[in-house]
Amino acid sequence: MPRNFESIPNSRKYGLIFLCFGLYIILYLQYFNLQVRNYSKYKGQSDNNSIRKIPLPAPRGIIYDRNGIPIVDNMPTYEVKVIPVDVNEKFNYFILSNELNIPQSELISKIENANKYSSKYLPLLLKRHLDFEVISRLSENRLELPGILFTELPARTYPSDAKLTHVIGYLRTVSEGFLKNASEELNYNRDDVHGFAGLELFYEPDLRGVDGYEYHLVDNKGIDHGILLDENRFSPKKGKTLVLTIDHGLQVLVENLLDSLKGSIICSNPKTGEIFAMASAPDYNLDSFVGPIPNDLWSNWNTDKNRPLFNRAINGLYPPGSTLKLAAAAMLLETNKVSPNWSVNCNGVYNFGNRKYHCWKKTGHGNVNLKHAIKYSCNIYFYQLIQHFNLKTWVAYMNDFGYGFKTGIDVEFESSGLIPNKTYLDEKYTSRGWARGNLLSFVLGQGDVLSTPLQVLKMVNLIATNGMAGKLNLVKSDDIEIDTLNYSNKTWTFINDAMWTVVNGLKGTGEKAKPNKGVARGKTGTAENPHGEPHSWFAGYTTLKNGKQLSVAIIIENGGKGSQVAAPMAKKIFNNFAGVKVD
């Protein structure tokens, strides 16, 4: 039989009594804490019977130029949201409609539709990018707007004189399709914004930041009573700062040079690949993206024949024209098939088969060797030069300089250009075939040959550094990647000397690019096109006494001769780099 209570020793009896008494004291103290000491606190929470988690958008990272000048910053704007389930029959749609400038019927429909789904417990965006005055007036009428929420929203602002439109890019509101494919690590919410073009897109994971959240008290009437301070609050974390390789002053100059023109200018440090300036014209106003873009404005941009949304620097596909003769010269020098002193008589016309191919100078250049052919940009010389090579060899040397491939710059959607090889030609000319006559156009950078201004700049950088150019980049980094091209020193020396004569030699086609300070080398180009006047090219670089270098690639659509249009622009850029005042 189990022992009864009387049989338990006194010491154990007292122990059990004290244990029960201790438990009773603990329960009593907890009751006292809830009902007396913290009565007001818990009474308030019982009256306000809902706690809502409210997201706090993170400011995007600020973007600076290489000298610390802010290019892209944030400014506070506000957005209005509502918790659909809290909207009741007393909700004053008239007040909200007047302040947001949205028809009452549209507001009612939007909120009622949201109430049909589980998202009715989540904040529904009504309008963003509102000023403080609107928010203040709505706050005064908060009791008539149950479920209403106001959130400060960081929006982009562009404080500098340098527009950098196509480089920076713009933001768009996330779509359902975007959310399905977005990285879970970035934790996007409905109504978030994301980088849609340019650096805003490429560096989205860095610029985005981490959203925070806080808890609000909402009573049974749907009225928001503000932040619940004693709950956990996670402050938003600002996105990372980006420091660009761009030089603000040079960028402003480049943009001014392109004013009212169509084309692109890119400047860089050949040794590091750092882009000091990059512009595409025409462009558009980034301030238009602070708030919703009017449909008519967006439609105008997309239908404008001048294509202001199009980034010509990385996507513009142009015949590189005579700038490509530099790569052909390297092919001659590396293969030794003919001597650089080999001379050709240019009388203005070259007969090949049953066709006549012309030099840009109708009267001809007389006897020219390779250096003269580069200096005067003689077509006849290169027509005859290419007869010593086959298509495969020519393609290989063009590919060496990066033509036909993306440069790998840190911007999305870069174009690859086109260096036509046998496969391409066989597919294109299936009916009538192709012949060696195509090569006569190719060696001049014409015909099917297409390149971006960025690819032309890469070629210049390889020449300027004897084949040890920095990979092109737009954001400062401690790590410099090198694009290597292992040609002989003889080849690099010859091409650099020839480019010197283009700018500094008597009657060189690039003489108008000669700066007041520093030593410039370059190559002009006049690229024919079937849609109007030829495109004007200049590609080259300048070296200062301290060894600093600046390279440039300029393309002006329908600008005419490179010697007359692009070359003078290069002079202004070189002078600016050397510290010479530019008019």
Note the pLDDT tens digit of each residue in 89-114: 889 999 999 999 999 999 999 999 98
DSSP designation for 534? P
User: For position 8, what pLDDT does the model report?
Assistant: 60
Greatest mean pLDDT range, 262-266, 306-310, 352-356: 262-266
Residue 149 lies in a domain: yes
Q: Does residue 38 surpass a pLDDT of 90? A: no
* pLDDT at 281 > cutoff 70: yes
The Cα diameter of the chain in Å comes to 133
Specify whether 266 is located in the same domain as 223: no
How do 242-243 and 535-543 pair as beta strands? unpaired
Question: Percent of the chain scored above 90 by pLDDT?
Answer: 63
Q: Cα 115–116–119 angle (5° rounding)?
A: 65
Whether the per-residue pLDDT at 574 is higher than 70: the answer is yes
Strands 171-173 and 193-195, bridge-based pairing: antiparallel
Average pLDDT over residues 40-63: 69
Residue 292, pLDDT > 70, answer no
The whole-number pLDDT of residue 122 equals 82
Residue 7 domain-assigned (yes or no) = no
Q: Which of 504, 537, 536 is nearest to 520 (CA)?
A: 504
Looking at the structure, do residues 231 and 252 belong to the same domain, yes or no? Answer: no
User: How far is it, in rounded angstroms, from Cα 275 to Cα 265?
Assistant: 11
For 414-440, what is the mean pLDDT?
87
Q: Which residue's entry shows tokens 């750092």?
A: 274
Distances 516 to 153, 248, 446, 513, 520 between C-alpha atoms, Å: 50, 22, 33, 10, 10
Q: How many CB atoms lie within 10 A of CB 341?
A: 8
- Say if 38 falls within a structural domain: no
DSSP string spanning 38-75? THHHHHHHHHS-EEEEEEEPPPPPPEE-TTS-EEEEEE
Judge whether 215 and 54 are in contact, CB under 8 Å: yes
Span of 41-55, 169-183, 241-255, 261-275 with lowest mean pLDDT: 41-55
Identity of the residue numbered 48: N
- pLDDT-based confidence at residue 1 (cuts at 50, 70, 90): very low
- Single-letter amino acid code for the residue at 38: N
Pair 572, 546: CB distance under 8 Å = no
Shared domain for 120 and 161, answered yes or no, is yes
Q: Where are the beta strands (DSSP E) in 244-342?
A: 263-268, 275-281
How far apart CA 180 and CA 195 sit, in angstroms, is 16
Same domain, 359 and 495: yes
Whether 378 is in a domain gets the answer yes
d(CA 454, CA 74): 30
Residue 543 pLDDT > 50: yes
Mean pLDDT of the chain: 89
23 domain-assigned: no
| Averaged pLDDT, 19-27 | 75
pLDDT 10s digits, 475-503: 999 999 999 999 999 999 999 999 999 99
Q: Tell me what pLDDT residue 220 has.
A: 58
DSSP 90: T
Tens-place pLDDT, residues 150-166 = 887 778 999 999 999 99
Q: Which of 224-238, 343-357, 375-389 has the lowest mean pLDDT?
A: 224-238
* pLDDT higher at 437 or 514: 514
198 and 262 together in one domain = no
- Interhelix angle 104-114/93-100, rounded to 10 degrees, is 110
CB 332 within 8 A of CB 456: no
Q: Is there a single domain that holds both residue 269 and residue 366?
A: yes
**What is the pLDDT at residue 340?**
93
Are 333 and 449 members of one domain?
Answer: yes
Structure tokens, 251: 């960028």
Q: Residue 299 — pLDDT band, cuts 50, 70, 90? A: confident
Using alpha carbons only, give the angle 496, 500, 504 rounded to the nearest 5 degrees.
180
In a domain, 517, yes or no: yes
Rounded to the nearest 5°, which phi and psi values hold at 122?
-105, 150
More confident residue, 216 or 501: 501
- Where among 202, 225, 243 does a domain terminate? 243
Return the closest-CA partner of residue 520 out of 555, 546, 551, 476: 551
Q: Do 231 and 350 reside in the same domain of the chain?
A: no
- Which residue, chain included where needed, has tokens 């032309």? 456
Flag whether pLDDT at 47 surpasses 50.
no
- Answer whether 448's CB lies under 8 Å from 420's CB: yes
Over residues 449-461, the mean pLDDT reads: 98
Residue 19 has a pLDDT of 73
Range name among 175-189, 333-347, 374-388 with the lowest pLDDT average: 175-189
At 69, list the tokens: 């000048």
Which of these three, 203, 224, 243, is where a domain ends?
243
245 three-state secondary structure: coil
Residue 327 near residue 398 (C-beta atoms within 8 A): yes
- pLDDT class of 531 with cuts at 50, 70, 90: confident
546 vs 222, higher pLDDT: 546
* 90 and 214 within one domain: yes
Radius of gyration of the chain (CA): 35
| pTM assigned to the model | 0.84
Least-confidence region, from 22-36, 280-294, 304-318, 437-451: 22-36
- Binned at pLDDT 50, 70 and 90, residue 289 comes out as confident
Q: Which has more confidence, 526 or 16?
A: 526
When pLDDT is averaged across residues 215-220 and rounded to a whole number, the result is 68
Percentages helix, strand, coil for the chain (3-state, rounded to 5) are 40, 20, 40
**Mean pLDDT in residue range 37-49:** 54
Q: Which residue has the higher pLDDT, 297 or 372?
A: 372
The pLDDT > 70 percentage for the chain reads: 90
Asked if residue 109 belongs to a domain, the reply is yes
Domain carrying residue 132:
52-243
pLDDT value for 300 = 84
Q: What is the tally of structural domains in the chain?
A: 2
Q: Is the pLDDT of residue 35 over 80?
A: no
Instruction: Report the pLDDT value the prediction gives residue 142, as an integer from 0 to 100.
Output: 86
pLDDT at 143: 87
Alpha-carbon distance 516 to 574, whole Å?
8
Q: Tokens for 319?
A: 């015949």
Domain shared by 149 and 258, yes or no: no
What's the CATH number where 79 sits?
Answer: 3.90.1310.10
Is 197:33 a contact under the CB 8 Å cutoff?
no
In a domain, 559, yes or no: yes
Q: Give strand ranges (E) for 333-423.
A: 344-346, 349-352, 355-358, 366-368
Q: In this structure, what DSSP letter does residue 231 have?
A: S
* pLDDT, average across residues 444-455: 96
Average pLDDT over residues 222-231: 61
Report yes or no: 124 and 87 within 8 Å, Cβ to Cβ: no
How high is the pLDDT of residue 48? 44
Do 232 and 256 lie in one domain? The reply is no
**Which is more confidently placed, 282 or 295?**
282
Going by the DSSP 8-state scheme, the letter that residue 377 receives in this structure is: T
Q: Is 325 exposed, middle or buried (0-12, 13-18, 19+ CB in 10 A)?
A: buried
Task: Select from 175, 192, 231, 187 the least CA-distant residue to 53.
Answer: 231
Q: Are residues 191 and 284 in the same domain?
A: no
Q: Which DSSP category does 184 fall into? A: G
- Please give the distance of CA 404 from its chain centroid, rounded to a whole number: 21
Q: Tell me: pLDDT of 46 over 80.
A: no
CATH of the domain at 410: 3.40.710.10
| Strand duo 63-64 + 242-243: pairing | parallel
Decide if pLDDT at 421 tops 70: yes
Per-residue model confidence (pLDDT) at position 43: 53
Whether the ω angle into residue 282 lies within 30 degrees of 0, i.e. cis, is yes
Lowest mean pLDDT among 229-238, 357-366, 391-400, 414-423: 229-238
CB atoms within 10 A of CB 156: 22
- 80's CB contacts (< 8 A; 6+ apart) are 96, 100, 125, 126, 127, 128, 130, 135, 138, 148, 149, 150
Examine the fold and report which residue of 243, 259, 279 is the final residue of a domain before the chain moves on.
243
d(CA 93, CA 102): 10
Query: What are the residues whose beta carbons fall under 8 Å from the beta carbon of 21, sequence distance 6 or more?
Result: none
